[in-house]
């Protein structure tokens, strides 16, 4: 099975411009003041572990490490294992102690236009109080805390306070529904949930607390919930239900708490967080990250890749803290570096489509890190909107989440970056914890659409099914060939799945299999070609086909369902569902009505991001003789292409019928 067959065709856009069409060299001006220098590659090449040890020493260690990497029992790595540190101390106290307490840590902008400027001293004070609150609630080393919050400063404080007391957070994206929330609470056996009454989205309050109440009352799983308390931030001002003894207001508890709290050191391998992400089965994987190696790599990459100068830059990463980008490049990387950053609560187009550019102008943002899907939707609205604002403060632009098509790259470069700001297209994953492949601004000559080269200290290859390198110019599977500090340490509660998913395929070579197709071009630059498994990438977020299929078949009208990712101009891929309805339902309802109901149903079950763009009602699904659904053929239909080779189908006529019905 070659990659060209399995990779989603949405990346066909990569080929629109020849690889060599355009190159962008960093300006001499930029290079002169850049954080990263070309010699980083040579240093890391000469001594990989020494290189990472140097980066780790940029952090504050309560007890310095003497070991760098222990890879004696692969795939279970240990980095800096005999060292001890406190992650929150590194993100807060040490900046205050260094005299930077008055520097703004967060420049927060609420969607309705309210604002808060929070200094490092103030954030430290808040986190110390909250750490005392947590300990008062019996939360300590190794306990799990679920955070289900909008993009408000309290979300950052909550993460840091959990880290400070040595507990483990699991942030659940506020867009997930009660069922998804409950599954994550249960899997981690969380003792505490930190939430808000609601947050602002699209001009109105979107409630959160009711979903928590529903998740905790839901007896669907039969088991009693592990949750003892729910800590609630008042943000939306909406009415909420209250369970006496269980629920606590944040503002009540925190004002009563002591502002004194000493950060205890924890071993470098102390778990820091669990973050759930979609895989090829219906059950999300709880990706586990630990402390010292993770913080080392997020801080280093944030400095080198974003060219972050903490004393002069205003940095803005637009990701939600519910995703890995929000963990690594909103919470931990920038704060470990003592940066000043913008945090924005709302949607890009509220109350007007220029809101982001207005924020860039208002705060003089100099480093912007966002996703191709956002860039494409701005591109669709046209350059007149950003042109109304002064974007001259921008000097570095980043992209993450999916391949950025050259057209969007050029638009970002010209319209947002005024052809001056270098663009860094960063490839990484929830599992890698931090950026792995990217240009270094000031060093790398870039090509629109290519993520370029592995970072210093990172070792990547593109191989065939047997693990042999395919060489420049050929497509294959992306692998990481050596351990890295911020690598996942496991899947929560499922070491077997960890080994099988990432390490089994290239066990002989000891490679990590990323699940992406890729190609080195003739110059040795990397082009990412999309997922090679049954995982979709919608707006830079991973969704599993199996998870959406099980939501669809949980609806009483559905007999069978198959889901594929179909290319979409704005979101990269969109969810397309093919559904066979039960005869009894078809007799009583219109197919269109049921299709619409099913779209909403998936949104309620999982969350709006999983809502299918298209639901096609069909009478059969294309299956092989062994009963496996041929998603490749369904993708052809959903993308309006000629249906490909059907010779392995049990019944070749099925596709003719489906294709005819869909058009
Ligand atoms: C998958 C990981 C990393 C944070 C956001 C997504 C795709 C990510 C790029 C890029 C091409 C990319 C890959 C990867 N991806 N960045 N710059 N170029 N593809 O995290 O949800 O863990 O998804 O996103 O397919 O495997 P995630």
Residues 67-88 have a mean pLDDT of 98
Are 544 and 580 members of one domain? Answer: yes
Ligand 1 neighbours (beta carbon < 6 A): 277, 324-325, 400-403, 425-430, 451, 514-516, 528, 531, 537, 540-542
Are 509 and 656 members of one domain? Answer: no
Residue 394 within any structural domain of the chain: yes
Of 427, 458, 420, whose CA–CA distance to 441 is shortest?
420
Nearest residue by C-alpha to atom 5 in ligand 1 = 401
Nearest residue by C-alpha to atom 17 in ligand 1 = 427
The model's pLDDT over 245-254, given as tens digits with 9 standing for 90+, comes to 999 999 999 9
* Whether residue 20 has pLDDT greater than 60: no
Q: What is the pLDDT of residue 165?
A: 98
> Which ligand 1 atom minimizes the distance to the CA of 404?
18
Are 509 and 542 members of one domain? Answer: no
Residue where a domain terminates, one of 530, 550, 568: 530
Residue where a domain terminates, one of 530, 561, 591: 530
Residue where a domain terminates, one of 468, 502, 530: 530
CA distances from 146 to 174, 230, 327, 443, 662 (A): 11, 10, 14, 40, 42
Report percent pLDDT > 90 for the chain: 87
**Average pLDDT, whole number, for the chain?**
94
Are 442 and 587 members of one domain? Answer: no
Are 525 and 539 members of one domain? Answer: no
* DSSP assignments along 406-464, one per residue: HHHHHHIIIIITTTTS-EEEEB--TTT-S--B---TTTPPB-TT--B-BPTT--EEEE-
3-state secondary structure of 579: strand
**pLDDT band at 11; cut points 50, 70, 90:** very low
Number of domains in the chain: 3
Angle at Cα 431 formed by Cα 613 and Cα 190, nearest 5°?
Answer: 85
202 is in an annotated binding site: yes
Residues 532-550 have a mean pLDDT of 92
List of residues 6+ apart from 602 with CB closer than 8 A:
548, 551, 552, 575, 577, 610, 611, 612
List of residues 6+ apart from 140 with CB closer than 8 A:
165, 166, 167
430 is in an annotated binding site: yes
Are 178 and 210 members of one domain? Answer: yes
- Helix or strand run (H / E) with residue 563: strand 558-568
425 is in an annotated binding site: yes
**pLDDT band at 307; cut points 50, 70, 90:** very high
* Whether residue 3 has pLDDT greater than 70: no
Q: What is the pLDDT of residue 80?
A: 99
Are 457 and 522 members of one domain? Answer: yes
CA distances from 490 to 133, 188, 495, 648 (A): 30, 13, 6, 37
> Which ligand 1 atom minimizes the distance to the CA of 430?
22
Cα(572)–Cα(404) distance, rounded to whole angstroms?
9
Are 494 and 637 members of one domain? Answer: no
The DSSP output letter for 24 is B
Q: What is the pLDDT of residue 335?
A: 99
Testing ligand 1's pocket by substitution, the residue of 427, 458, 486, 530 carrying the most ligand atoms inside 8 A of its CB is: 427
3-state secondary structure of 373: helix
* Whether residue 450 has pLDDT greater than 90: yes
Are 510 and 429 members of one domain? Answer: yes
3-state secondary structure of 67: coil
Residue 460 within any structural domain of the chain: yes
* Whether residue 218 has pLDDT greater than 70: no
- Give the relative orientation of helices 178-188 and 209-217 as an angle to the nearest 10 degrees: 60
3-state secondary structure of 50: helix
Testing ligand 1's pocket by substitution, the residue of 274, 278, 401 carrying the most ligand atoms inside 8 A of its CB is: 401
Report percent pLDDT > 70 for the chain: 96
- Of 74-88, 132-146, 454-468, 539-553, which gets the smallest average pLDDT? 539-553
Cα(169)–Cα(397) distance, rounded to whole angstroms?
30
Q: How far does residue 224's CA lie from ligand 1's centre (Å)?
A: 36
3-state secondary structure of 475: strand
242 is in an annotated binding site: no
The model's pLDDT over 355-403, given as tens digits with 9 standing for 90+, comes to 999 999 999 999 999 999 999 999 999 999 999 999 999 999 999 999 9
* Whether residue 483 has pLDDT greater than 70: yes
- Of 21-30, 52-61, 86-95, which gets the smallest average pLDDT? 21-30
Q: How far does residue 429's CA lie from ligand 1's centre (Å)?
A: 5
**pLDDT band at 222; cut points 50, 70, 90:** low
The model's pLDDT over 500-528, given as tens digits with 9 standing for 90+, comes to 999 999 999 999 999 999 999 999 999 99
Nearest residue by C-alpha to atom 3 in ligand 1 = 429
Residue 395 within any structural domain of the chain: yes
- Of 130-144, 154-168, 210-224, 301-315, which gets the smallest average pLDDT? 210-224
**pLDDT band at 21; cut points 50, 70, 90:** low
The model's pLDDT over 89-109, given as tens digits with 9 standing for 90+, comes to 999 999 999 999 999 999 999
Q: How far does residue 364's CA lie from ligand 1's centre (Å)?
A: 28
Contact 205, 237 (CB under 8 A): yes
Are 360 and 411 members of one domain? Answer: yes
Residue 100 within any structural domain of the chain: no
Residue 624 within any structural domain of the chain: yes
Q: How far does residue 546's CA lie from ligand 1's centre (Å)?
A: 19
Q: How far does residue 427's CA lie from ligand 1's centre (Å)?
A: 6
Q: How far does residue 478's CA lie from ligand 1's centre (Å)?
A: 12
43 is in an annotated binding site: no
The DSSP output letter for 62 is S
Residue 577 within any structural domain of the chain: yes
* DSSP assignments along 607-639, one per residue: -GGG--SEEEE-S---BBTT--B-HHHHHHHHT
Are 216 and 178 members of one domain? Answer: yes
Q: Domain containing 204 — which CATH number?
A: 3.40.50.980
Q: What is the pLDDT of residue 648?
A: 83
Q: How far does residue 183's CA lie from ligand 1's centre (Å)?
A: 24
Cα(452)–Cα(7) distance, rounded to whole angstroms?
19
Residue 91 within any structural domain of the chain: no
- Helix or strand run (H / E) with residue 79: strand 76-79
Q: What is the pLDDT of residue 9?
A: 35
Q: Domain containing 64 — which CATH number?
A: 3.40.50.12780
Contact 402, 541 (CB under 8 A): no
Q: Domain containing 645 — which CATH number?
A: 3.30.300.30
Are 411 and 522 members of one domain? Answer: yes
Q: Residue 221 belongs to what domain range?
A: 119-264
Residue 108 within any structural domain of the chain: no
């Amino acid at each position: 099975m070659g990659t060209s067959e399995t990779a989603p065709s949405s990346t066909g856009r990569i080929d629109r411009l020849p690889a060599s069409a355009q190159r962008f060299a960093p300006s001499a001006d930029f290079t002169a003041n850049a954080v990263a220098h070309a010699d980083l590659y040579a240093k890391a090449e000469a001594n990989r572990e020494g290189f990472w040890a140097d980066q780790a020493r940029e952090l504050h260690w309560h007890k310095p490490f003497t070991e760098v990497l222990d890879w004696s029992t692969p795939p279970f790595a240990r980095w800096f294992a005999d060292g001890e540190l406190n992650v929150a101390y590194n993100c807060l106290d040490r900046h205050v102690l260094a005299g930077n307490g008055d520097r703004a840590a967060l420049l927060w902008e609420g969607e309705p236009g309210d604002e808060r400027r929070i200094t490092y001293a103030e954030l430290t004070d808040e986190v110390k109080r909250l750490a005392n609150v947590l300990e008062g609630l019996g939360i300590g080393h190794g306990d799990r805390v679920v955070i289900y919050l909008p993009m408000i400063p309290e979300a950052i404080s909550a993460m840091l306070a959990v880290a400070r007391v040595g507990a483990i957070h699991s942030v659940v994206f506020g867009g997930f529904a009660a069922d998804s929330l409950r599954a994550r609470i249960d899997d981690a056996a969380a003792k505490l949930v930190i939430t808000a009454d609601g947050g602002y989205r699209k001009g109105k309050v979107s409630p959160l607390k009711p979903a928590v109440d529903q998740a905790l009352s839901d007896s669907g799983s039969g088991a009693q919930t592990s949750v003892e308390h729910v800590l609630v931030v008042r943000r939306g001002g909406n009415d909420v239900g209250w369970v006496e003894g269980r629920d606590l207001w944040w503002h009540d508890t925190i004002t009563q708490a002591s502002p004194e709290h000493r950060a205890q050191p924890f071993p470098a391998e102390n778990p820091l967080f669990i973050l759930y992400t979609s895989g090829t089965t219906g059950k999300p994987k709880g990706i586990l990250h630990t402390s010292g190696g993770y913080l080392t790599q997020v801080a280093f990459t944030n400095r080198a890749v974003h060219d972050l100068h903490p004393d002069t830059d205003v940095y803005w990463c637009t990701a939600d803290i519910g995703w890995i980008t929000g963990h690594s490049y909103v919470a931990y990387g920038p704060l470990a570096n003592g940066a000043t950053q913008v945090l924005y609560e709302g949607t890009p187009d509220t109350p007007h489509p220029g809101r982001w550019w207005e924020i860039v102008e208002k705060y003089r943002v100099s480093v912007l890190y966002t996703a191709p899907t956002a860039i494409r939707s701005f591109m669709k609205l046209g350059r007149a909107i950003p042109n109304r604002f002064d974007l001259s403060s921008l000097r570095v632009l980043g992209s993450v989440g999916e391949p950025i098509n050259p057209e969007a790259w050029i638009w970002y470069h010209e319209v947002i970056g005024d052809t001056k700001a270098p663009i860094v297209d960063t490839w990484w994953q929830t599992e890698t914890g931090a950026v792995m492949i990217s240009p270094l601004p000031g060093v790398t000559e870039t090509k629109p659409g290519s993520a370029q080269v592995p970072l210093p200290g990172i070792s990547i290859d593109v191989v065939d099914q047997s693990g042999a390198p395919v060489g420049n110019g050929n497509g294959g599977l992306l692998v990481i060939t050596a351990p890295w500090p911020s690598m996942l340490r496991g899947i929560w509660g499922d070491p077997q799945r960890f080994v099988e998913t990432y390490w089994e395929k290239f066990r002989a070579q000891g490679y990590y299999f990323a699940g992406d197709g890729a190609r080195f071009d003739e110059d040795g630059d990397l082009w990412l070609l999309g997922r090679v498994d049954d995982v979709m990438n919608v707006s830079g977020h991973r969704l599993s086909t199996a998870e959406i299929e099980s939501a669809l078949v949980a609806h009483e009208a559905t007999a069978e369902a198959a889901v594929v990712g179909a290319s979409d101009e704005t979101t990269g891929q969109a969810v397309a569902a093919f559904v066979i309805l039960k005869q009894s339902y078809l007799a009583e309802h219109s197919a269109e009505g049921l299709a619409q109901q099913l779209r909403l149903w998936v949104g309620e079950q999982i969350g709006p991001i999983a809502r299918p763009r298209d639901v096609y009602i069909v009478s059969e699904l294309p299956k092989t003789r062994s009963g496996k659904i041929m998603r490749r053929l369904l993708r052809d239909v959903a993308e309006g292409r000629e249906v490909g080779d059907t010779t392995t189908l049990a019944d070749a006529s099925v596709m003719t019928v489906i294709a005819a019905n869909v058009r």
